[in-house]
A and B are shown apart, each in its own frame.
Chain A
């Protein structure tokens, strides 16, 4: 899978690092837990910059090349920052036939960013997601963890306005 890699500088806090080290300590006995550790790391930092991948590689005693390989293989791992407001448009089949592609384009237009990108002020980020299984509500998008369903293109500006756009 083609992944965009963030070129914005990394700002990790000591607190975040302590959390990550605790996760690594609890899992390093079993290298098959690598993906679980990376998922928790992404929950802590919001994404997986090289600095974080490096910490995982050293802590788990796994080559960085393998950590990077796993990070770029799976859709869930993000190498770019997420905004405060993270919007994911479902492009699963059921949503696509009901026009989620049009909604995705409209969001790109209104936010002025492409897919897997974050606005310069760090406020909004946008991505296309795989099927989230809410096909009964198609087309759907999620904003952070809130699900919006049965959408049309005209709903886009209303949703963005709700989050301060």
Chain B
């Protein structure tokens, strides 16, 4: 495609197929579109087999001209995967197995009757009517900007992307706007970096220095465990990233882009590579895009699993082929970045917002969100929550809405304890702060951080000291070793936490812990070290009583820290079956002389001292007679 007119013609041609999914009528020969999630989550539960089964059954019933099967990106509600959505009805089949496919094809596609028993329960009303999935609790408060195409288009088909306004923003920039005007729009929109720091994106672009060679880098090294929105964009809408990076290249005067992706995301890497090849073939990348004198191309570089490479200078060092150690700033990457040249670096979700901002305007974007946090944010809900998955919501929604309404609350009737945000760099939000509006500044004020948007819910069975230790183990492992406060400081923090969880801590240790945390924060070279103590500080602030239980009472209230837990058999509940004694690897469970009222056999007891606290007895007991104290 060499001109905007050609792009427009391609859009009109391709949009026929997409109209059905967008709620309109379609002139397409297909009467039905069957969308099957091909994201990592659903693929892991064999959605590829489901696609195959649909195609086979559709062929068997001679429906190939009427029903089209589309592999899309993630729908978001991963807890119910594999998911299949059928248009025009917009009905939402959940937890589908390939064995269910013949029945759906026969009943739904041939006989026109939706198969209710496979539908997501919440979409079926009491009177039997079926509501669209986007009216359910999980979806109704969401507003998708960055994820707008995920679960809607086939990510491996450039035509479907073009059909839904794809590459229109790039065309607008190249033919109607000066580079400075593009930067101004992003500045006015109030978009802030979605990777963690929250630095205004437009400002970052405006800082770029002059030079003969400049670069645009996309940080897709989503190392924050429990966050998977960037993966989802790469898997579900890779062209969006390509378009956005090209726009950034135009705005700052760069002609080469690099995407640094985690090697742990093979599906994302393959789809992005295909998208780059297709974009190049279509003239969206390469020389003289849309016949202008602007040229831009990009390539993928694979990360190899180093958390510190999410830090922008470390990421650039890694692209250069080195150990991914951070560099002191200044000079900032905008002046001296990749290969020593001026570089602008943003993360995937940030980029994913750009084309929509260009098309719909800065005002549209800044009308969403709070005063200083504009637009939407994608959160990855995980841990002890009913609806695990991805949600995109306007900034400023409360944590309670996210967890209780959208997320469906904590399962199994357990009590919510805390939500962890920002991964190993973040903190946790306790139950009594659940009504605070979630945005960058409120989270920072709580000693937490937005981070990349991982949101892990913890219930009463999680020990907060153990969680702090878990994150410190992670940062000790991931500290690159370049600066002393981080390399040695985090190790000492972990040793102190070890001591506390082993029941050897003292109250004095808690003060020492806090002092060392503040020292590491103030003196580390890069973001990893500066934020590594956050999980400890936040848990100390909000859950100090749990720390005190560990050091004073030598108890772990959640029953997680093994050395502080005693296993006890309730002799009145024990029926004397002896299963626990058989399961015990160290033979420390013995029969007593006591027969509880109503029981026939003598009960058992655990002899203290030898117990290794493996939990085999509890797992095997059907009578709930064994507990941790």
Give A contacts to B, CB under 8 Å: 1-2, 31-36, 38-39, 66, 69-70, 73-77, 92-94, 96-98, 102, 129-138, 140, 147, 149, 153-154
Contacts and interface: CB of A to CB of B under 8 A. Distances in A.
B318 A131 contact: no
B383 A35 contact: no
B111 interface: no
Contact of A135 (B228, B302, B307): B228
A76 to B, nearest CB: 4
B383 A129 contact: no
A122 to B, nearest CB: 24
A23 to B, nearest CB: 14
Contacts of A130: 223, 225, 264, 305, 307
Contacts of A75: 304-306
A140 B467 CA distance: 19
B78 A135 contact: yes
B323 A94 contact: no
A134 B44 contact: yes
Contact of B225 (A2, A70, A73, A93): A93
B190 interface: no
Contacts of B470: 93, 96
B462 A74 contact: no
B384 interface: yes
B160 interface: no
10 contacts: A35-B318, A70-B321, A70-B322, A76-B305, A94-B225, A130-B225, A133-B231, A134-B78, A136-B81, A149-B44
B264 A93 contact: no
Contacts, number: 131
Interface string B208-230: 00000000000000111111100
Contact of A94 (B44, B263, B383, B480): B383
A69 B323 contact: yes
Contacts of B319: 32
B412 to A, nearest CB: 12
Nearest to B44: A147
Contacts of A140: 44
A147 B228 CA distance: 16
Interface string B470-491: 1100000110100000000000
Contacts of B471: 93
A88 B321 CA distance: 26
A93 B423 contact: yes
Q: Which among B222, B264, B318 has the greatest number of chain A C-beta atoms within 10 A?
A: B264
Interface string B271-313: 0000000000000000000000000000001111111000000
A98 B383 contact: yes
A149 B45 contact: yes
B306 A94 contact: no
B570 interface: no
B79 interface: yes
Interface in B41-74: 41, 43-45
> Which 9 pairs between the two chains have the least Cβ-Cβ distance?
A136-B78, A94-B382, A75-B305, A92-B225, A74-B304, A147-B44, A131-B225, A76-B304, A34-B321
Given A75-B304, A132-B40, A135-B388, A31 B225 contact: no
A131 B226 contact: yes
B375 interface: no
Given A135-B226, A136-B81, A149-B44, A93 B304 contact: no
Interface in B579-623: 615, 619
A39 B263 contact: yes
Given A135-B226, A137-B41, A97 B302 contact: no
